[in-house]
Structure 1
């Protein structure tokens, strides 16, 4: 079930709504519903946290609060930038987290043995701008923090990638533990037209799905069923394997955008991952490698981004719609009045059925009603509700022939018979 904090009839007064996705393929009972764990950012308990620290120490990673940052570049120009940043002690982290900065040529070999292989990544990279300056850390609070906190001192397209995150960023400032086996990275983008900034996450999501296809083509593999769930999640076989987060600040008439991506490549528990999806399709011993995915992502993103900036998102829409999950999905929109609350649950006033048609020019969902009335659907943004939204979307697509109401975080959701 998707959430909306606004449904705007064009030319009418704004109202507040919630909507759910419907289909009519099978049956679900409420007792079978379980919350899907966040992937690839997986919350872990204290025992697992200590195990990760132990693994970090065994692989040469420092389990102390000190964060190691290894700087590298595609060419001599980027490597000179790395030397300058180290010499001037430029890079900082929030909360005065202690860091140690190394050049790729200076690092101890054990540091990278079980981690991200920088040379493998750089050899596969063929961009002019994006991804050419690399910051790698075996363990970092958040790649998003590394990039956003040092944005003005980094070259355009600089990327930070980490093997382990312990304060990874999610929607609505959620923090997540991200274990080894996930590709977690953030990079810099600078944009001038604020109207295009909200659409950037769609270009990034599309670049990820297309990069995986490019790898499959190169290796002669079948395509895995990697799809985009609006607005910023990635799914394989109806299970979440990744997501995109973009944050921005406005300075000197430009939007400084930090784009963060998490993708579960190797962890088949507790849900699924890219390599498990590939194994289900093919007997090949080939496994997706994080280094290849990152390089192929930037190779594809740079081309798509150029089209996006020069021709607009409309030029990419057809390809985007081929990859997302929502074309023709039926939604039930439920209006709520915030001033009518009973036992902390907002009372549903009305509901109506709509069919998703695509995206509006501003990047929200475009839907049409039975009376041909067009509307624009916005995400709610409530993190706890979004977890349930993912749950209801997954369930209702497969089994809406059951009616029930669920209460969560001040809202009431209803999935009706399809």
Structure 2
């Protein structure tokens, strides 16, 4: 069966009746106790602590701030680290609607072991040449997708933006939802030249996620989690939704600038289930899925798949692999 026909066979009879993306409710935020904007508060922290910033205090300030987003930049190689310094020095990164941004470099963090997202752990597990090597992390953002798409031309291809909490996550049909802690929330950039294949990219992303989870299970000696792809862009586990994927693109200079966003419920059982809840049911081992492990494994898989996808012969081989993947049907 041709790949496109296979995809059509998975679509609901009436796409308009398909359920919208399930919203993940974010716990009520504490009243803001700051009398200064985040940028001013960060400056005061630096005066008190010297060259480095105490991480717990920074996260607290960022989570309480309603108007400013804290972005921490991290690179895998010296070239990416120098690029991060340039972005900060030139105050290059912007948010839609002129939202205020405070930028820090990862080496400026006082206690990196207290990071909610362990950037060093992620980088040490990453083995790619392009994807994931430049990282933007934030404790809270309106949308990771907005960060990479709004700054696309200022960032190296393969840049990833990760947030612990997302307030206005983007979905299909302009749906928006809040995502609490415990979810892997990230968006990354890539470029494509063949517009005919851009709509199929979401299936490559879906396959890379499921294969990443499988590879972690294999390496840790864990039972496989039955994560399945649901047409057109959802991830299901034991019949319940645990993730979603969104790919958007713009056309410029004969190339499609693509922003791919993924949300995966790793450690939050509500409102449906999560990877670690199912893992606890299947195994008594102490290991729990970590966002850093999944993200690194995803990019390690995705880079291989994407190199096949942009090649005609490789795309045919990859299409067969996608067709053999586990698909969830209503």
- Range class of TM-score, shorter chain: 0.7 to 0.9
Where does residue 245 of structure 1 map in the other structure?
Answer: 246
2:309/2:315 contact within 8 Å kept: yes
Shift of 1:313: 3.3
2:21/2:171 contact within 8 Å kept: no
Shift of 1:109: 2.7
Shift of 1:317: 2.6
Q: TM-score normalized by structure 2?
A: 0.83
SS at 1:180 equivalent: coil
Matches within 5 A, 1:227-376: 227-310=228-311, 311-325=313-327
SS at 1:211 equivalent: helix
SS at 1:137 equivalent: strand
Q: Deviations over 1:358-400 (max 9, x none)?
A: xxxxxxxxxxxxxxxxxxxxxxxxxxxxxxxxxxx3xxxxxxx
Where does residue 19 of structure 1 map in the other structure?
Answer: 13
2:25/2:180 contact within 8 Å kept: no
Shift of 1:314: 2.5
1:37/1:270 contact within 8 Å kept: no
Whole-angstrom CA distance in 2 between matches of 1:53 and 1:209: 39
The structure whose Rg is larger is: 1
Poorly superposed stretches of 4+, deviation over 6 Å: none
Shift of 1:114: 5.1
2:21/2:175 contact within 8 Å kept: no
Matches within 5 A, 1:11-410: 19=13, 38=21, 41-44=23-26, 48-51=27-30, 60-62=60-62, 63-64=64-65, 65-109=67-111, 113=114, 115-310=116-311, 311-325=313-327, 393=330
Q: CA 1:53/1:262 → structure 2, altered by over 3 Å: closer, same or farther?
A: farther
| Runs (5+) with no aligned partner, structure 1 | 1-7, 9-16, 22-34, 330-392, 394-418
Where does residue 46 of structure 2 map in the other structure?
Answer: none
| Runs (5+) with no aligned partner, structure 2 | 1-7, 34-55
Q: CA 1:36/1:190 → structure 2, altered by over 3 Å: closer, same or farther?
A: closer
Q: TM-score normalized by structure 1?
A: 0.66
Higher helix content, 1 or 2:
2
Whole-angstrom CA distance in 1 between matches of 2:277 and 2:86: 42
1:131/1:157 contact within 8 Å kept: yes
Whole-angstrom CA distance in 2 between matches of 1:294 and 1:37: 25
Whole-angstrom CA distance in 2 between matches of 1:243 and 1:20: 20
**Higher RCO (C-alpha under 8 Å, 6+ residues apart):** 1
Shift of 1:222: 1.0
SS at 2:278 equivalent: helix
Shift of 1:52: 9.9
1:38/1:240 contact within 8 Å kept: no
